[in-house]
Amino acid sequence: MVKSFTMATTPMPVVALKNVAKRAGLSLATVSYALRQSPKIPVETRERVAAAARELGYRPNPRVASLMAHIRGAQSPAPRERLAFVWVHTNRAEARQNSFLRRVFAGARERAGQMGFALEEFWTCDPGMTDQRLEQILRARGIVGVVLSPVTNAEATVTLKWDWRHFSPAVIGNVTWTPELHHAGHHHYLAMRLVLSELAKIDCKRPAAVIEATVHERNKHAYVAAFWAHFPQPVSARSLVRVVSRDDTADVGPWLRAVRPDALVVSHADLLDLPGLGKMAKELRIPRVTLYWSKETPRGIGGIDQRQDRVAGHAVDLVVAQLNANETGAPDLPRMMLFPGRWVPPALRLGKKRST
């Protein structure tokens, strides 16, 4: 006869909000607002409440926090708690004119509204602005939740000289930060794997890929790694992918003619405008695919719609989760939420040229 045993456990004592209020010598309402980092409560009081909560081991009930977020989202448009959307190394004109950045901000704003928060924009590149000055502005306004924009320049690592202990931050995109923060970004590796899989379904088993050098570095070689690992003919994989700089593409056309691919994958569609590349792709009459597809992509070119608006919304989720858990500062174990995007089919290869 087999006996079953159960391990006795001692339940952790539940620390209620009233216990924190008693320890801090404040009302329940004040403590509740302070733990949500409300700007209605002075910074000193918020820090006093946070200290009391830490001493007692207080943890918010996640279901209650979720309910309150739903209630805030359903309320009439009264003044709401604000999150900061910080445009990192991006000026106002670029943020307004760049279609990619507009989609990113629209997605973050929509998700913030659904969660019951207002989203206010700030720019690190404003005239006279410094990292320290921007930090002071956010703290003076009582803003704790911070969504950090993608960085569109060639930076491989980004740093803001802030005291992160005062903020609950999350980054849109995969660029490395110092210190490292929570991220919501595109899953470049899975995107390339998806491209190869979908091309194989339309009988393209020998595609070539051209990846811009800055993209290659920023995604930590993920596109090339996936191309090598999931190419239908592994022996040929290395000869069919090129990493190029925009100012050094002279030999790409001859290379493409020599390898004779049955499809062409590029990191961005505008690479097809570079000398030799786009012309050769048209001459070969093969499907063309971009790893960053958008509604502005020329007709007939397929690829991966990264859905950066949804990615930005997930970055907002990361910020709100920290606020609900009273977490601030650079995390010791950053969360990395990555999403592969969706496939947009290209036009199939054209017929052969007619002889004249």
pLDDT per position as a tens digit, 96-150? 999 999 999 999 999 999 999 999 999 999 999 999 999 999 999 999 999 999 9
The whole-angstrom separation of Cα 328 and Cα 107 is 23
Give the pLDDT confidence score for residue 352 in this predicted structure: 44
Q: State the amino acid at position 164 in one-letter form.
A: W
Give the pLDDT confidence score for residue 353 in this predicted structure: 41
Give the pLDDT confidence score for residue 4 in this predicted structure: 45
In sequence order, what are the beta bridge partners of 120?
A: 84
To the nearest 10°, report the CA torsion of 263, 267, 271, 276.
Answer: -40
Task: Identify whether the C-beta of residue 246 lies closer than 8 Å to the C-beta of residue 275.
Answer: no
Q: State the amino acid at position 286 in one-letter form.
A: I
Give the pLDDT confidence score for residue 337 in this predicted structure: 95
The whole-angstrom separation of Cα 351 and Cα 235 is 29
The 10 Å CB-count burial string (b at 16+, else e) for 25-51 is ebeeebbbbbbbbebebeeebbebbbe
What's the whole-number average pLDDT of the chain?
Answer: 86
Give the pLDDT confidence score for residue 58 in this predicted structure: 80
Give the pLDDT confidence score for residue 71 in this predicted structure: 56
Structural domains in the chain plus CATH codes: 17-59 (no CATH), 82-184+309-340 (3.40.50.2300), 188-305 (3.40.50.2300)
Q: Which of 119, 160, 166 is closest to 142 using CA atoms?
A: 166
Distance set, CA 247 to CA 223, 252, 259, 274, 281 (Å):
21, 12, 22, 9, 19
Residues of the chain with pLDDT under 70: 1-14, 37, 39, 59-79, 349-356
Q: Which of 134, 106, 109, 133 is closest to 120 using CA atoms?
A: 109
